[in-house]
Structure 1
């Protein structure tokens, strides 16, 4: 059986009794980082006398994904196998989703255990959500894609959750403040850990607060919903059917595709 086992996002005591039981039954752990998973198993044994005895830790990450699946056989799943992400629920912003799809496509039995999840913890702690929300995970790091992703987040009809690193948290809030200074933001760093810290304010005030704060640690940000959400979308085919000048059409297509206006204009006027 293949098990997807959630791991603590900070506080080791968030490991579930069922997760400990499953890990005791497993012979193999597939994981993002073998060092992280080995360290977690060691800590669980030391802290809770868990009696987990796994000898085989196999890495699965973006750099070896193709090779990993190319070498898989049906017999591999005759044993009890656990997949663990570095922290939190497997399959959320990690390669676990590829393993789930593989199991589905090859009729391999699997179970997903319930457990810690930073996005849900943050959305509840924020007080900004009553029911629906959007999970965006990590945004693109730089460039036009990041700018567009931030704008899209601000246009949503629901609160959204973003994961962010300590290196980019201040720039994220600054970028939001430039676009919508009064937009309400909630941010939490080091969730469930000893130095967990929560912030809630308008974007412009949050920017000032973070300027004088210790930013070390992993961050989760919740942005309140837009008062004027953008429901309408326009596609490339929609733009191509417009009866407008090629130069104007090229500019619109550039906004969507990220390609240079000159290149698009040249293709339109061939």
Structure 2
């Protein structure tokens, strides 16, 4: 067990996790600006992007890159700097570091070395979208970006579909339609909200069922990063259990079950699995025969 009293020791060795604006620079707090000005170095996901922010607020603190491709090497360097008594601010391109951005590993390594971690409050796209969605907020799950591969995305949505909690996803404009179709096919046509360009001039909330939001996406030019807020499963627990008897099976196991127990050919079994899972037969065929 470890206990941290963040402001009751004499050590200057501290990592400050500093959220930065997700669009509107006025969301930068006085405390965040002061912290970035007073630390010894700023570890930034993209130094070019962060440099623009620092220039705007006249912050002269040195920058050091810390991103997905160099984080292991940088971690050792940053921990050594902290061991020497220096202070570091960790920032991402926008929002809270370590939330769908680099940072978790550095925080974990610092904790193991008994180095203070101080997290500043600030901008976060997921929470803004959740509160603005009008969907239940008392229980929610932040998921982030779904897997790119169709098979992996389906498996994750199958795992999430029985949750009662509101679910939050991030998505790029390039994969929005594909993701919305997957949400509809696996989760059913639930209430949802697609929020884009949060805090910016073109901020927009699209509220409706998943099908309605998908129709909107197909009729408009898609721009900006999205946060998708999806209502949880509102079915009764008993009904969910009855309809998901196959939830522990992979798609291949599900098809094989129908072949063996119903004494039918694979073609018919694939149709039944597609009906069970509410996904297109072609996707079941690909996963069963091609392993996609």
State if a TM-score over 0.5 links the two structures: yes
* Partners of 2:79 and 2:110 within 8 A in 1: no
- The match for 1:64 among 48, 54, 70 is 70
Shift of 1:234: 4.9
SS of residue paired to 1:220 = strand
SS of residue paired to 1:87 = coil
Distance 1:73 1:199, change over 3 A: closer
Distance 1:150 1:261, change over 3 A: closer
Match of 1:157 in 2: 164
1:35-74 equivalence runs, <5 A? 35-45=48-58, 52-54=59-61, 56-74=62-80
- The match for 2:146 among 96, 120, 139 is 139
- The match for 1:94 among 78, 101, 104 is 101
1:209 lines up with 2:216 in the alignment: yes
Post-superposition Cα deviations, 1:54-79, rounded to whole Å, max 9, x if no partner, equal 1x211112211221224445444522
5+ residue gaps, structure 2 = 1-13, 262-286
Whole-angstrom CA distance in 2 between matches of 1:235 and 1:177: 21
SS of residue paired to 1:120 = helix
Shift of 1:126: 0.8
SS of residue paired to 1:3 = strand
Match of 1:148 in 2: 155
SS of residue paired to 2:180 = helix
1:7 lines up with 2:13 in the alignment: no
Shift of 1:32: 1.0
Whole-angstrom CA distance in 2 between matches of 1:142 and 1:43: 40
Shift of 1:165: 0.3
Post-superposition Cα deviations, 1:148-170, rounded to whole Å, max 9, x if no partner, equal 22333333211100000000111
Shift of 1:115: 0.4
1:183 lines up with 2:195 in the alignment: no
1:25 lines up with 2:25 in the alignment: no
Distance 1:25 1:72, change over 3 A: closer
Whole-angstrom CA distance in 1 between matches of 2:41 and 2:35: 11
- The match for 1:223 among 215, 218, 230 is 230
Shift of 1:182: 2.8
Shift of 1:212: 1.3
* Partners of 2:130 and 2:229 within 8 A in 1: yes
Whole-angstrom CA distance in 2 between matches of 1:134 and 1:209: 25
Superposition RMSD on alpha carbons, in Å? 2.7
* Partners of 1:181 and 1:202 within 8 A in 2: no
Post-superposition Cα deviations, 1:71-99, rounded to whole Å, max 9, x if no partner, equal 44544452221100111112211221111
Distance 1:166 1:73, change over 3 A: closer
Whole-angstrom CA distance in 1 between matches of 2:174 and 2:49: 21
* Partners of 1:2 and 1:83 within 8 A in 2: yes
* Partners of 2:198 and 2:204 within 8 A in 1: yes
Give the TM-score normalised by the residue count of structure 1.
0.79
